[in-house]
Amino acid sequence: MSILVAITVLLIAIGGLITTFSQGAKGLRNVFIQGKFVELGTIKGKTKAEIIARVGEPTHVSYQTDGKALLQWITTNYHIALIFDGDICGGITHESTSR
Tens digits of residue pLDDT in 60-84: 999 999 999 999 999 988 999 999 9
For 9, 17, 18, 81, 97, the CA distances from 43, given in Å and listed in that order, are: 50, 38, 37, 11, 18
Provide the pLDDT for residue 32.
82
Distance CA 81, CA 15 (A): 34
Distance CA 26, CA 46 (A): 27
- CATH code given to domain 2-97: 3.30.1450
pTM beyond cutoff 0.75: no
